[in-house]
A and B are shown apart, each in its own frame.
Chain A
Amino acid sequence: MLVIRNLHARVDDKPILKGINLEIQAGEVHAIMGPNGSGKSTLSSVLAGRDEYEVTDGEVIYQGQNLLELEPEERAWAGIFLSFQYPVEIPGVKNIYLLKAAVNAVREHRGQPELKAGEFLKLVREKLKIMQMDEAFLHRNVNEGFSGGEKKRNEILQMQLLEPTLALLDETDSGLDVDALKIVGEGINRMRDPSRSVLLVTHYQRLLDIVKPDYVHVLADGEIKLSGDFTLAERLEREGYEGIEAA
């Protein structure tokens, strides 16, 4: 599904990713953990195509194609979805406009017929229910005035609607209280599927208790220092990043 080889990236003149190697197969959930400033968010942003980051070396192959050559929207059409750490507020654009436009743009490029208003509303109501969100969210401006938790739910709602092949979840657990964490976590679990992969970036273990990853990687100073199974997350929680790095 996704092969990352020797990926180097910088922002302005500051190198952040210093040779990432990672392979994700279809159906797998990988968690990337690491201290602040280790490059976790940069990795998901580079994969989604944010242009502030410059890739200086290495390659990313997604489903046989060179991912780095694609525009962000082309990546979305190809099935990549990024759940933002800080979802952007867009005053003046109704959430429902964004959702319907996004769903139909992605469907069009997958050769699926466009959803008419009625079909779309039926689908979106179903997903709202899963995310325990009120229908009023549809008619509010995109993320404007949403609480931190509401923004994250809105991200996972979008993921449910867009049905990505590769979901990049950037600190989706940050800013969530216990109840919201559960809703978001279960929202992610519902999406687990043999054909869908998830790259989950997080600082803490708590989301991983709900969304059990197949692999855990520790990212520090722009490199993956250690990989293992779920027990690695538990070790990190006990010993902290410093303990792991020293070992």
Chain B
Amino acid sequence: MPSSDRSGLPSLPWRLSAVWYRHFRVYTRDLVSNGLPPFLEPLIFLAGIGLGLGRYISEMGGMSYLTFLATGLPMTAAMYTAAFECTYSTFVRLEFDHVYDGMMAAPITARDLLVGEILWAGTKGFFFSFAVVTVMALVGVLPLPGSLLSPLIGFFTGVMFAAMSLVVTSFVTSINQFSFYLTGALSPMFFFSGVVFPIEELPGVLRRLAEVFPLTHSVRLARALDFLTVTPALPWDLLFIGAFTAAMGWLAIWRLQRRLVQ
């Protein structure tokens, strides 16, 4: 793949990688405080569930409750990290630190910057789900080897929630407004997307609503991969994630471009 054309201008993949690299360098500057918590969180969860709730509920969705949770949690980790990255962090870069002003002086377009942003959030989705998978696999509650592949779904989950969160960010005028998104959209998804109990148990309306929650499709896809099974919902999940990500990504770029290039 050529990385620049004849005039020396960096190619599109190179430009995206340069945006990604900036975020990577800033994130890895503080490896302990940025890299450790993703591994600690699942441990705390395990302790809480294993010692507490797990004693009352032994089985869920045809598997042990710990396994049920352990196959869903990597996706919520990916969701939350991508959502935080593309709401609070993006807003700070846009409005407070003026990081984007500096980057926009470099030979990249606003679209390059935003796509790079989404790819970075996808990378964090991969890393955070990888951390959960690692911990859960080590304590032996995950089916192997299928589960080792689920961070890949974590990547696409990160990309999807990054795109969606950027759309939210494009409407936000004050950083405090993100709370509505977190409690109004992400918290319901955590509970009604088949992470803590199967959505099949939900009453009619909620059951159908859960079907349009993006996280539902990530979780179902991840579980299918964990157990290396082909489920009837698989094409629908893939289609949903692809179409939803494309639509949100397009909308986010269309709206935020006008904030970056006035």
Q: Do A and B associate with each other?
A: no
